[in-house]
Chain A
Amino acid sequence: MSIELDPEGHEIDALAELVPTLDGARVLEVGCGNGRLTRRYAHRARSVVAFDQDEAAIATFRGAIPGTLRERLDVRVGSVATIELPPQVFDVVLLSWSL
């Protein structure tokens, strides 16, 4: 078997409980890695910008984006210190294990 991470869905359940405003939101995810968490909530968002400085992880993420999510996902390589993003446009900013 391959690694199964949180098949019980506790992580995504906690996100849904604490962030009911995720539905239809413009989301920015900082430190998305290979998109493990992003793929589990992106269908609820209006749009998601997700970035990570790990190029290999982003390549894995891009290769695994389902067709149903491609239009709403913008996946980038970058760090929080250098990435250029417009101010005050994101309804939800998610620090995904990145602090």
Chain B
Amino acid sequence: MVDALDRTRAWLAAEGTLVDFHPTAEPVHLEVGTNNGVALVGDLRDDESSRGPRSRHAQAEGAIATVLTRRWFQRKAWRELSFRHYAGDVPEMRSYTEGEWNDAHFDAGTWRLAATLIRKDPGARLWLREEATIATYVHARPD
């Protein structure tokens, strides 16, 4: 990741802006929205590998800290954001999740609970809620 940031540094114009989106440490949540509110059904869990979203968050944070320390970039602004991925039903969401995250999963109990909640309320909506950080950087200037 540090090597990737070194390459992007070379491509960025002198007055340019580097923008980084990456997940926060917060796990991806599976939620069901009904007329009675929003139910948190379960959290996406990293598998044993180091490539799941929470591991990626830690690696990305480490790489950014390294390049700031090396004074390749300086941070200009940042904020957190939350967004949703909607699916029509549990099988569709399960298939989507398995395609998007090869290295993380929801456990079987989470899927069962989601199916139960959807059955109870045909008007319910099913979504993933993902928390992310967006930050901007510019080339570091001498002090």
Q: In the bound complex, what is the Cα–Cα distance between A26 and B136 (angstroms)?
A: 16
Q: In the bound complex, what is the Cα–Cα distance between A17 and B126 (angstroms)?
A: 28
The reply on B92 being an interface residue by CB < 8 A is yes
| CB of A12 to closest CB in B, whole Å | 10
Q: Given contacts A3-B85, A10-B82, A18-B79, are A91 and B16 in contact (CB under 8 A)? A: yes
CB-CB under 8 A from B79, the residues of chain A are 14, 17-18
The reply on B108 being an interface residue by CB < 8 A is no
CB-CB under 8 A from B92, the residues of chain A are 1-3
| CB of B87 to closest CB in A, whole Å | 6
Q: In the bound complex, what is the Cα–Cα distance between A99 and B4 (angstroms)?
A: 8
Q: Given contacts A14-B79, A14-B81, are A94 and B19 in contact (CB under 8 A)? A: yes
The reply on A90 being an interface residue by CB < 8 A is yes
Most buried by A among B64, B81, B85, B132: B81
Chain B binding site: helix, strand, loop or mixed by DSSP? strand
**Contact A95–B134 (Cβ < 8 Å):** no
* Interface bits B19-36 vs A (CB < 8 Å: 1, else 0): 111110000000000000
The reply on B7 being an interface residue by CB < 8 A is yes
* Docked complex: B1-59 residues within 8 A CB-CB of A: 1, 3-5, 7-8, 10-23, 56, 59
- Looking at the complex, which one of B18, B22, B86 makes contact with A4 (CB distance below 8 Å)? B86
Q: In the bound complex, what is the Cα–Cα distance between A98 and B4 (angstroms)?
A: 9
The reply on A88 being an interface residue by CB < 8 A is yes
Q: Given contacts A3-B85, A18-B134, are A87 and B10 in contact (CB under 8 A)? A: yes
The reply on B88 being an interface residue by CB < 8 A is yes
* Interface bits A1-28 vs B (CB < 8 Å: 1, else 0): 1111111101101110111010000101
CB-CB under 8 A from A13, the residues of chain B are 81
CB-CB under 8 A from B134, the residues of chain A are 14-15, 18
A selection of 6 A-B contacts at a CB cut-off of 8 Å is A5-B86, A14-B79, A15-B134, A18-B136, A80-B4, A93-B8
